[in-house]
Structure 1
Amino acid sequence: MTDLELNWVLSAPALLGIAALGIALLLVLIMKFKIHAFLALIMVSLLTAVATGIPTASLVPTLLTGFGGTLGSVALLVGLGAMLGRMLETSGGAQVLTDALIRKFGEKRAPLALAIASLMFGFPIFFDAGLVVMLPIIFAVARRLGGSFLMYAFPSAVAFSVMHIFVPPHPGPVAATGLLGADVGLVLIFGLVVALPTWYLVGHLFGGYVGRKYNLPVPSILRGSNGDFTEFESSPKLRTILFLLLLPLGLIFLNTGLNMLATAGVVSLDDTWVQILRALGETPVALLITVVFAMWLLGWAKNKSGNLVESVVDSALGPVCAIILITGAGGMYGGVLRQSGIGDAIAASLNAIGLPVIVAGFVIAAIVRLAQGSATVALTTAAALLQPVVMGNPDYNPVQLVAIVLSLAAGSVFAGHVNDSGFWLVSRFFEMDAKTTLKTWTVGQALIAVIGFVFALAIFVIAGAL
């Protein structure tokens, strides 16, 4: 064993015990001793790295890899999304759309209207980017109608989550589809069959319960700290706001749609025009283009000075810095757990138990998710382990293969908690403490996993009986 490898080899139970102790310590530091989450995550990441035998020379590189990898995907999305949200908020655009939604759906169905919009946006847009774009609208509706912020935000967040978990072209189900040889079109259809009722049970029904139980105020995160910028208000037209919300949706759909067409052999990724359109549809590029359009339509075209527009955009970054850093630190902790081999050790042990394939896949994905935080890693790990079994069994029909993919996807989201960067994204944007986030978001993610698995298992059984 070289100096760059682990100093000692730990068994799967020992690794799992270290992970459990690390999570417990993290919760104690944050909830009991009120240590800032950013500092607590760094400290526990470092201690976990030492306890699992990561060599001293590799400690800092391991921490930075997890931190930097998460920031690479989160910082641009959160920063650009916050800029867009700040302009929608201060221009009065969020209020314009809020008034339109209430006129159309009524006050009592406003949370449902927000969630339906989120389900539609969630088809091509990743969870974190979609949530950030929708937040100013959710804030405006919650301020207008009153009551707990969770009543409006939780159903929408769950909507983005179920679409991200179960429905292509999101990366998790696409990766599992490829590894297990399932048909991506069928995964899309049955993914919606699983995602929509799961959203209704968790997002709508459970979301209504947590909204009544936890009376949270509307966060002030997008209002900035440099004044209200009342001179930026312009009451833009509804079509302008809809254009700004649908523009990133359309651009991102270019990317995901072309990827699906390339998989089906309809287009070639080597074609120049395909590469250009895919580049425009990359989420950070799509959000950047939308922010520039917002600066034009909500600022310069309304005769607002360049200094004012720049000040409004700049004021969005300060409040979200803590979110970005805490989310990155959550990714750091998850990265340490992955580097330690915890997920691989647990998955290999469970794979030897001999459960039915669809059950084993769910359990492996769920436990790997609990141990190291990343849904994508949990899903791909479980899919890779099951690949020889699934691909070597010709008795599975195409729908049963789809059901196995969906069961893995369900397990991969089970009970996201403090080692998941998404947990901290929701916690800080909703301005919830860790304890409340565990009681609401973590429980909600567990329910999504279990309910989604039940639907996937039903599809598997029915498909096998036909």
Structure 2
Amino acid sequence: MLETLSSGLSPLAAADVGRAFEPGTPVLLTIAALAIVLLLVLIIKVRLHAFFALIITSLATGLAAGIHYGEVFDVVVDGFSSTIGGVALLIGFGAVLGRLVEVSGGAQVLADRMLATFGEKRAPLALAVASLFYAFPIFLDAGFIVMLPIIYTVARRLQGGFMIYVLPSVGAFLMMHALTPPHPGPTAAATVMGADIGTVLVVAMLVGIPTWYLAGYRLGLLLAKNHPNMPVPDIFGEPEITEHVRAPKFGTVIFCLLLPLALIFYNTVFSTLESTGAVDSGNVGLTISKLIGPTPIALLIATLAAMYLLYLRPRRGVQDVRSGLSDLVDKAFAPVCSIILITGAGGAFGGVLTATGIGDSIASALDSFGMPVILAGFLVAVAVRVAQGSATVAATTAGSIMAPSVAELGLEGFGLAAIVVAIVAGSITCSHFNDSGFWMVGRFCGFDTLTTLKTWSVIGTAIGVLAFLLAWVVYALVA
């Protein structure tokens, strides 16, 4: 999954699951391939809803791979719940915040300022650059949902097809989330491999900026040409700006959008200080950061602030304003329920694939091939990513597997950081049906399953491969 709070809640490991029989690695790989084919048939040919298709395929895959019939449902539920627990909060709060920004006229205010500053022709670039900054301290799930109303508004105003505006921003969020600390994947991989976080960040940005421009922004524009007339989705509904209520000021909207970033960044700073021993567990600042800095809490605080600043305060004296706010929240929740369920079902499928041991089998085989350590790390991360879906788990697992080999080389500084970046590049590559982000972003963008494969998956894979190649160049220069 793309990273949510659930990244720390792993589905049941293969060793924890009762087995009716133990298939070998070739059989497991065949089952995994057939499972993906079954999903494609159910969703594309049979036209079965993705939620049902994912649950059915998860159950069938678990049984075929030898999970005991009495435990296969538990494995599915575990994968579903560990994913949806964090996703539901992020999507729920993010959807309400996004709806408030749109209904209040805040999205229009931001779009007007952006277009006046950068011009209509540079609108896709302006949205992508804004996404780069917004994606730095915040998980892709939450940041992308909050950015969507602005992207919707710009696309509605300028027309020309929705994809030309959304795909460059998708590339920006993917690159920042995959490569840069403080996101969980690169932070975890750097930690288990003993790399300095600051050095990893420098290498990640050195590699990431050209990667984003070529594989995110430029490739996004190229892919958008295949869908020139795609309409803007109405996930949040059409704008419902009240005529006699003034639109919020630019600074007020920016404050509401930057508030969760500031809280998350505050938490990240103190978490880093705690890990280095600079502050102890009794530090007041650290305690406060743990209370207000987790992503769902930061979004909750920002959403409450937006309720007052963007909706209640401008409507003082309006009759039944609080009932109107309640209706707004209901309207924001209604369209995202299906997305939450599909995302959880994607996590269930990933949980089943993890429980079968497919990822461990592939990773161990690749690690024993004797290839260059940086290439082996990348391929191990790709294998784990394909097998179970989570970029954080893929980065952490690959880093743990490769750490002994890297330690024998005595690498440090930029050489070690380059290997970390190569590994996390692999962790974002080849997103497919077991990645909850695949379903979340696809549904919020109004893409069908095949279109999501042709856009989200292609951009993510291009970013992963190009980032790996550039990291290898850095490694060759400094190691």
Give TM class, smaller chain: over 0.9
The number of aligned residues is 461
TM-score (normalizing by structure 1) = 0.96
State which of 208, 211, 222 in structure 2 corresponds to 1:209: 222
State which of 247, 257, 263 in structure 2 corresponds to 1:251: 263
Q: State the one-letter code of the partner of 1:243.
A: F
Give the C-alpha shift of residue 4 in structure 1: 4.9
Does the alignment pair 1:348 with 2:360? no
Structure 2 match to 1:417: 432
Between the two structures, name the one with larger relative contact order (CA 8 Å, sep ≥ 6).
Answer: 2
Q: Is the 8 A contact 1:94 1:140 kept in 2?
A: yes
Distance 1:350 1:232, change over 3 A: farther
* Deviations 1:124-155, CA, capped at 9 Å, x for gaps: 00111110110111111111111111111111
Structure 1 match to 2:331: 315
* Deviations 1:6-37, CA, capped at 9 Å, x for gaps: 22212222111111100111011101110000
Q: Is the 8 A contact 2:89 2:296 kept in 1?
A: yes
The percentage of counterpart residues that share the same residue type is 49
Q: Any idea what SS the aligned residue of 1:235 has?
A: coil
TM-score (normalizing by structure 2) = 0.93
Give the C-alpha shift of residue 370 in structure 1: 1.5
Q: Any idea what SS the aligned residue of 2:121 has?
A: coil
Structure 2 match to 1:449: 464
Task: Map residues 67-466 of structure 1 onto 2, 5 A cutoff.
Answer: 67-215=80-228, 216-223=230-237, 228=240, 230=242, 234-302=246-314, 303=316, 304=318, 305-394=321-410, 396-464=411-479
CA distance in 1, matches of 2:412, 2:79: 39
CA distance in 1, matches of 2:45, 2:179: 36
CA distance in 2, matches of 1:233, 1:77: 29
CA distance in 1, matches of 2:219, 2:245: 37
Give the C-alpha shift of residue 89 in structure 1: 0.9
Q: Is the 8 A contact 2:195 2:416 kept in 1?
A: yes
5+ residue gaps in structure 1?
none
Q: Is the 8 A contact 1:23 1:419 kept in 2?
A: no
Q: Is the 8 A contact 1:262 1:269 kept in 2?
A: yes
Give the C-alpha shift of residue 376 in structure 1: 1.6
Give the C-alpha shift of residue 261 in structure 1: 2.2
Give the C-alpha shift of residue 229 in structure 1: 6.3
Give the C-alpha shift of residue 232 in structure 1: 8.7
Give the C-alpha shift of residue 262 in structure 1: 2.1
Distance 1:2 1:429, change over 3 A: closer
Give the C-alpha shift of residue 231 in structure 1: 6.3
Q: Is the 8 A contact 1:45 1:333 kept in 2?
A: yes
5+ residue gaps in structure 2?
1-13
Give the C-alpha shift of residue 3 in structure 1: 10
Q: State the one-letter code of the partner of 1:107.
A: E
CA distance in 1, matches of 2:36, 2:246: 48
CA distance in 1, matches of 2:63, 2:384: 20
Q: Is the 8 A contact 1:221 1:320 kept in 2?
A: yes
Q: Is the 8 A contact 1:91 1:235 kept in 2?
A: yes
Q: Any idea what SS the aligned residue of 2:120 has?
A: coil
Give the C-alpha shift of residue 69 in structure 1: 0.7
Q: Is the 8 A contact 2:235 2:335 kept in 1?
A: yes
